[in-house]
Structure 1
Amino acid sequence: MAKKVRPIHTCSECGYVSPKWLGRCPECGSWGTLQESMPAAPASGGGLGGGAAAQAAVSGQLAKGLTPTSPAQPITKIGASATKTLPTGIGELDRVLGTGIVPGSVVLMAGEPGVGKSTLLLEVASQWAQLERTALYVTAEESAGQVRARAERTGALHDTLYLAAESNLDVVFGHVEQLKPSLMIVDSVQTMHAAGVEGVAGGVAQSRAVTAALTTLAKTTGIPILLVGHVTKDGNVAGPRVLEHLVDVVLNFEGDRQSSLRMLRGIKNRFGATDEVGCFEQTAGGIREVSDPSGLFLSHRGATPDGSAVTVAMDGVRPILAEVQALTVDPVSKNPRRVVTGLDNNRVPMVLAVLQARAGQKSNEKDAYVATVGGVRINETATDLAVALATWSSLHEKPLPAKTVVIGEVGLAGELRRVPGVERRLAEAARLGYKQAIVPAGSDAKVAGMHVKEVATLGQAIALVDA
């Protein structure tokens, strides 16, 4: 009598498999993510037992082995032309990818709803079509008319850019066979459906099957494929983790709804580094790349105001000038307030405490509002000195010296600690016209056209700007 096959339950977040349904996944802790599916059919010969079964299975597979279509070659005989990158026409995207997109690669772009993933990839398809190359844009979430309206608004209408509103994977393969595109975009992978695979679109089985089929298509035809992926409320790529393992590149497109700034970060890249960051700006005409983002984060007033300090933050390996502003006022209640925007909420109160305890400033007796300009988010400790000097400037209503950048981590004893990449930071500041820098002692940074002053403590830095 044949044994009855029972369903299994697989977590859509981490791929954990359980024989029964659970409200919470024991592996990743997510709630309501276990979905029912049928297990794969057992391999033939599974009734044999012990080591003899394994040996018999291996012998059988060797006997039935297929003749390879192409013999294995020495690695020295394989040409490098297969990995030659093709520019997408968008410099910031090429920066994150490495130097461009590799033929036959699969790129997964994830991001929150409404951040601009579809608009950016439509711009990629437009730039691709401008070079007389055929691009196929497959939309499974929107109608063809909606995508056409967006393309008309952003100026992405071209004769070699083809649009298919289709969610059936087999039909998409038919479009590829007819058009022979040199680039394909699928928006999104969670809405595609593979025939013959159980489960709903976006489920574990469907997402895995669709991604595996598209990856095989890319590798066998050499067509680079860009996939749009949804994210969960925690900011992770939705679906099983196997999606990230199947693709070659995983990008995260992020941004604040209250700001036009968008950042593209590499999470995984088989062809390059993952420490590059691309900057974009959301405009009425679509997504515009920002090759020099430092100007977005600096105020454009002529005179230097009090309560303002300019620092250089590192986002990956990219130095970005940012302005930190502080406002101190008499408290409206018994307990002074600390309002922080764009910086570490726990780090700023610590810097203000050191400013009072080690430098003799009455910062803890005032309401303090500290923020960055332009919506930039900075989490590194190199901005501590900028927070301290901006607060000092607001307390005494004295502006810092013009064309000055400050970089350094503040310790609890009031000492200034060195930060990595000082010379690279200062070179970016000098390029934008800054003439003076205050850095921690021992940095040994020398940049042409910039006067670098090294200080050991926060008190020395205050004395320097108060001179």
Structure 2
Amino acid sequence: MAKIKKKFVCQECGYETPKWMGRCPSCNQWNTLVEEIVEKNRGYETGVKSSEKKLKKLMNVNTNEEERLSTNINELNRVLGGGIVKGSLILVGGDPGIGKSTLLLQMANNVSLSNQKVLYVSGEESDKQIKIRADRLKVNTDNLYILAENNITIVNSIVNKLKPNVIIIDSIQTVYSPDITSAPGSVSQVREVTAELMRVSKNNDIATFIVGHVTKSGAIAGPRVLEHMVDTVLYFEGERHNTYRMLRAVKNRFGSTNEIGIFEMRNTGLTEIKNPSEVLLSGRPDNASGTIVVPCVEGTRPMLLELQSLVSPTIFGMPRRVATGIDYNRVVLLMAVLEKKVGIQMQNMDIYVNITGGIQIKETAVDLGVICAVTSSFKDKPINTDTVVIGEVGLTGEIRAVSMIDKRLTEANKLGFKKAIIPQANIKGLNLGKENIKIVGASTIREALEIVFGG
């Protein structure tokens, strides 16, 4: 057997050296040299000839819809774009204990019940540990195979014999290639193992799910190229001690991005939430100040969320600003606009803003909701419970138009809300045909506050 040649490549500048060094002599960065395998150009001419056969005119490329496997989990199918595409490579990331393995085991059970072979490769748990969880989730099928193995060479051998339709790798940081001397989970190991899994998936039309650990900052551990190599990247979000989980697609070559699915964690596993608006608004207090409902859109799904605020005098020299479920810097910016353009002085007030249900919102259409909730708590004056507000707020106090206004208003109308305050720019061209909800346009935050509080 020929000896495998290796080299060390700097991940910052690309400098190459035959031995490892702590600091790159080219860019002077520390711990950036990563081990790589030197591949020989064997069969170069053969590869060129086979590549020439792949040359096609764009107009002759077949654009038929990719064949998909249904997971029988509607929320997961929505995030994936309609189901699992054969030969795709899907990366699933999330905090420890958030429910990644639980969701994939439930999916494996559903897929295997459709006469599809599923191979679950675990590098973290033994087969007995997986069986205990499977019994709790009531997983019982003959087409689900378990393999407790870390060596990617052995995994490939099993795949060639079993020929499964779906492979689940839990997790990519625990699987290693024996051709590389570095420890499992290192940059070189993760990259090499992912490349091998991608080759197996594409050549055999096997859908492969990869579980990825996350760092303290929430990003998937390992090289950034890992997210570029895969076809789909899913993030499982939510607090471990909160019952609701959100599955978000941040990259999807076979569907729309930023699509989300809502789940609830129970003793029997993850249960999909078919109507998240109704669930997230349950338990909303009546005639309480500092609360407002805002229609949001995640991907193609509209949701109604309760936004709460608490404004109280500070006992410290520096007032506190706390934001949960919404960007902190955005809240600070909106408070500055509120003080400047409306004249509400809150420099000696602590301000707390919270999105109930543990949901994380990144869109700016909730800006007007933050303004109204904070003002309601500051004045201790409740907002009518059948009112929703929509709008992005600019630095000059204007309310700017938002996207997909029809979907937001339709969702609010479906849940029985009677009044909606929206940007004046969205009034033009609005065609809902709904008589049950009164739509009022506003151009500035001062005008919107007068409408909300009946001034």
TM-score tier by shorter-chain length is 0.7 to 0.9
Deviation for aligned residue 1:383: 1.7
Task: Tell whether the 8 Å contact from 1:25 to 1:33 is kept in structure 2 after alignment.
Answer: no
Tell me which residue corresponds to 1:49: none
Find out whether 1:114 has 2:67 as its counterpart.
no
SS class of match (2:69): coil
Q: Once the two structures are superposed, what CA deviation does each residue of 1:237-287 show, in whole Å capped at 9, x if it has no partner? A: 333344334322222222233433322222332222223122222222222
Task: Tell whether the 8 Å contact from 1:358 to 1:459 is kept in structure 2 after alignment.
Answer: yes
Tell me which residue corresponds to 1:51: none
Whole-angstrom distance in 1 between the partners of 2:340 and 2:60: 67
Whole-angstrom distance in 1 between the partners of 2:174 and 2:118: 20
Unmatched runs of 5 consecutive residues or more in structure 2: none
Whole-angstrom distance in 1 between the partners of 2:28 and 2:228: 17
Whole-angstrom distance in 2 between the partners of 1:260 and 1:25: 50
Task: Tell whether the 8 Å contact from 2:337 to 2:395 is kept in structure 1 after alignment.
Answer: yes
Deviation for aligned residue 1:71: 6.1
SS class of match (1:339): strand
- Shift in CA distance, 245/154, structure 1 to aligned 2, threshold 3 Å: same
Whole-angstrom distance in 2 between the partners of 1:451 and 1:379: 27
Tell me which residue corresponds to 1:236: 219
Residue type at the aligned position of 1:453 = V
SS class of match (1:346): helix
- Shift in CA distance, 463/102, structure 1 to aligned 2, threshold 3 Å: same
SS class of match (2:328): coil
Tell me which residue corresponds to 1:147: 130
- Shift in CA distance, 369/211, structure 1 to aligned 2, threshold 3 Å: closer
Whole-angstrom distance in 1 between the partners of 2:171 and 2:225: 16
Counterpart of 1:379 (choices 362, 368, 374) is 362
Alignment of 1:279-358 (within 5 A): 279-301=262-284, 303-358=286-341
- Shift in CA distance, 249/396, structure 1 to aligned 2, threshold 3 Å: closer
**Bigger mean CA deviation after superposition, 451-460 or 247-256:** 247-256
Deviation for aligned residue 1:148: 0.9
Residue type at the aligned position of 2:367 = D
Tell me which residue corresponds to 2:443: 456
| Cα root mean square deviation, aligned | 3.2
Unmatched runs of 5 consecutive residues or more in structure 1: 45-59
Residue type at the aligned position of 2:368 = L
SS class of match (2:233): strand
Tell me which residue corresponds to 1:265: 248
Alignment of 1:35-54 (within 5 A): 35=34, 37=35, 40=38
Deviation for aligned residue 1:453: 0.3
Find out whether 1:189 has 2:168 as its counterpart.
no
Task: Tell whether the 8 Å contact from 1:405 to 1:438 is kept in structure 2 after alignment.
Answer: yes
Whole-angstrom distance in 2 between the partners of 1:151 and 1:410: 49
Residue type at the aligned position of 2:438 = H
Task: Tell whether the 8 Å contact from 2:176 to 2:193 is kept in structure 1 after alignment.
Answer: yes
Aligned residue pair count: 443
- Shift in CA distance, 66/332, structure 1 to aligned 2, threshold 3 Å: closer
Deviation for aligned residue 1:224: 1.3
Deviation for aligned residue 1:124: 0.8
Q: Once the two structures are superposed, what CA deviation does each residue of 1:209-262 show, in whole Å capped at 9, x if it has no partner? A: 322222222222222111112233333333334433432222222223343332
SS class of match (1:89): coil
Residue type at the aligned position of 1:319 = P
Task: Tell whether the 8 Å contact from 2:398 to 2:445 is kept in structure 1 after alignment.
Answer: yes
Task: Tell whether the 8 Å contact from 1:446 to 1:452 is kept in structure 2 after alignment.
Answer: no
Tell me which residue corresponds to 2:78: 95
**Bigger mean CA deviation after superposition, 20-29 or 228-237:** 20-29
Tell me which residue corresponds to 2:108: 125
Task: Tell whether the 8 Å contact from 2:69 to 2:111 is kept in structure 1 after alignment.
Answer: no
Whole-angstrom distance in 2 between the partners of 1:109 and 1:241: 14
Tell me which residue corresponds to 1:173: 156
Tell me which residue corresponds to 1:421: 404
Find out whether 1:390 has 2:377 as its counterpart.
no
Counterpart of 1:406 (choices 386, 389, 399) is 389
Q: Highest Rg: 1 or 2? A: 1
Q: Once the two structures are superposed, what CA deviation does each residue of 1:146-177 show, in whole Å capped at 9, x if it has no partner? A: 11111111222322211111122232233324
Task: Tell whether the 8 Å contact from 1:304 to 1:399 is kept in structure 2 after alignment.
Answer: yes
SS class of match (2:130): helix
**Bigger mean CA deviation after superposition, 275-284 or 96-105:** 275-284
Task: Tell whether the 8 Å contact from 1:353 to 1:364 is kept in structure 2 after alignment.
Answer: no
Deviation for aligned residue 1:61: 4.7
- Shift in CA distance, 241/351, structure 1 to aligned 2, threshold 3 Å: closer
| TM value normalised by structure 2 | 0.86
Task: Tell whether the 8 Å contact from 1:342 to 1:371 is kept in structure 2 after alignment.
Answer: yes
Task: Tell whether the 8 Å contact from 1:409 to 1:416 is kept in structure 2 after alignment.
Answer: yes
Task: Tell whether the 8 Å contact from 1:266 to 1:274 is kept in structure 2 after alignment.
Answer: yes
Tell me which residue corresponds to 1:8: 8
**Bigger mean CA deviation after superposition, 299-308 or 273-282:** 299-308
Residue type at the aligned position of 1:8 = F
Tell me which residue corresponds to 1:48: none
- Shift in CA distance, 24/279, structure 1 to aligned 2, threshold 3 Å: farther
Deviation for aligned residue 1:192: 1.8
Q: Once the two structures are superposed, what CA deviation does each residue of 1:381-410 show, in whole Å capped at 9, x if it has no partner? A: 322221222222223332212211011223
SS class of match (1:215): helix
Counterpart of 1:249 (choices 206, 225, 232) is 232
**Bigger mean CA deviation after superposition, 17-26 or 118-127:** 17-26
Whole-angstrom distance in 2 between the partners of 1:461 and 1:61: 68
Whole-angstrom distance in 1 between the partners of 2:49 and 2:305: 61
| TM value normalised by structure 1 | 0.84
